[in-house]
Amino acid sequence: MSDKAIVIGAGIGGLACAAALAQRGIAVTVLEQADAIREVGAGLQISPNGLNVLSALGCTPALHQTGAVKAEAVVLEDGLDGRTVARLDLARTAPGQYLCVHRADLVSVLASTARDLGVVVELGCRVRRVLPGAAPGVELDDGTRRNADIVICADGLHSVGRNAFGEAPPAHFTGQAAWRATVPLRGPVPPEVHVVMGPGRHLVSYPLRGGRLLNLVAVEERTEWTEEGWAHGDDPMHLRRAFAGLMGTRMHLLHNVSAVNIWGLFRHPVAASWYSDGVALLGDAAHPTLPFLAQGANLALEDAWVLAQCVAEGDLVAYQGLREARVRRVIAAAESNAWKYHMRPGLARSAAHTALRIASRAAPGLLVGQFDWIYRKDVTA
């Protein structure tokens, strides 16, 4: 068992891992390059597999106080005529266990939980290099070095720590870009995730903060390259133009978007090694995933719990073996999901939508049950 850990990155995975380590009596310092704990982005879907970890960390009461919305269903709509194609009743598989939360609220709750457990969070600490070895550590931009028994890299897509395992293979643009925005709601909307499916594009929406905000994620296929990362602002007219003509329950709310970010969706290879010489990778640093199953944050939460347990048991070699097969399966499922939303008009689209409508009415449990292998995983059990 390690007595002291350094975690790089005060995002969801890093703070969750820090809290889980502290629960096990390990002294943890989190190094965050920003001068304040903040998150770019907006909404997140926390499915039961991720919520299990948050519950084990003691975060759920505070999370509910932020206005996290308990989603009751995922509703698929045909953007060409506005009709409902299928309704996946989440109450069948996860009553009250599928939350729509604001990313900033989740990060704030995790930060408070970690600090209450004794975790030290140091802001404005940019890590220049990660140093594997018998005495693993980090080198900061100011030249100072810190050492610990283990260094955990939860520093996202462009992880400094991943470079300690060798240069990462290049990522490949998927030919898709995504916009993210929130709009205020003037009236109640059902606690549901809606997906409007159109040719070469789709729009996901769900309420946040007790129904005061609606989160929008819009994905469009395109040939030109779009830079990766959430912080790139765009003109809301580009979003409205891309989705003009599509119909759906909430499509009119695109006219209320006043600020929007856009980013390119890239496929990143899963890291070949997630642990070596006292350094471990977690979440996107090890295995970025596309957003089409809303599992990025949930996988990071699972990683955080399993890695903390392996650290406590002194068996870090087991970490990747416990996680890799599941992570690769989720990533593959997410990558194959987009085409189902983006089908062009024709016989194949009509047949697929007809089959979904029939299954939604005749065997609704079967539709939502296809995700049981994701949602019913409990790494804390």
List the catalytic residues. Answer: 206
- Cβ–Cβ under 8 Å, residues 63 and 101: yes
Residue 70 CB neighbours (<10 A): 15
For 180, 255, 356, the CA distances from 248, given in Å and listed in that order, are 18, 13, 17
Question: To which residue do tokens 């809606």 refer?
Answer: 194
| Beta-bridge partners for 318 | none
Q: Is 69 exposed, middle or buried (0-12, 13-18, 19+ CB in 10 A)?
A: buried
Give the 3-state DSSP-derived string for 187-248, with helices as H, strands as E and coil as C.
CCCCCEEEEEEECCEEEEEEEEHHHCEEEEEEEEECCCCCCCCCCEEECHHHHHHHCCCCCC
Pairing of strands 4-8, 27-32: parallel
